[in-house]
Amino acid sequence: MDIPASIKYFRFMAAFTGLFLAGSAVFALPVHAEDEIEIETEAGRISNPVAVFSGLDKITGRITSFDVRLGETYQFGALQVTPRSCFSSPADEAARTDGFVEVNEITLDKKIKRIFTGWMFADSPGLNAVEHSIYDVWLKSCKQQ
């Protein structure tokens, strides 16, 4: 008597699932609190006190690089750029840099208008971009000094 293919498939999947669950139980290791802390430290990000930006003046076509310490404000044209945090990945991981940034515009009537608050990612500068008609600003990197 020939067994239908659907029953063969069901038996195979049941056997495979049983073996997988048995293997998982054998290889499962208890997790201790200090192991979790160690893993978080290894996978953690490095906090840096200085953010490195580039700015483009769309009228002149000039690109300017500038360093700004966290909490300080740098004036780039009519924009005020203030980094609040800047993180980079450890050297043994893929390079990733991100920072939380506030950007204000000084309007023609001398008022300060917030035009950007959020995370910038150095590897994706267009993801969270500062939208301004004359200036572009993006995060390039973070550094310790």
In a domain, residue 85? The reply is: yes
In a domain, residue 110? The reply is: yes
In a domain, residue 139? The reply is: yes
The residues, ordered by sequence, that sit 6+ positions from 136 with a Cβ below 8 Å of its Cβ are 55, 56, 58, 129, 130
The CB density around residue 118, as the number of other CB atoms within 10 Å, is 13
Domain count, the chain: 1
In a domain, residue 10? The reply is: no
- Mind listing the pLDDT tens digit for each residue in 50-102? 999 999 999 999 999 999 999 999 999 999 999 999 999 988 888 899 999 99
In a domain, residue 135? The reply is: yes
Contact assessment for residue 55 and residue 76, using Cβ atoms and an 8 Å cutoff? yes
Range of the domain at 65: 46-143
In a domain, residue 8? The reply is: no
In a domain, residue 96? The reply is: yes
pTM of the model: 0.67
Contact assessment for residue 76 and residue 56, using Cβ atoms and an 8 Å cutoff? no
- Mind listing the pLDDT tens digit for each residue in 7-43? 554 454 455 444 444 444 444 444 444 433 332 333 5
In a domain, residue 56? The reply is: yes
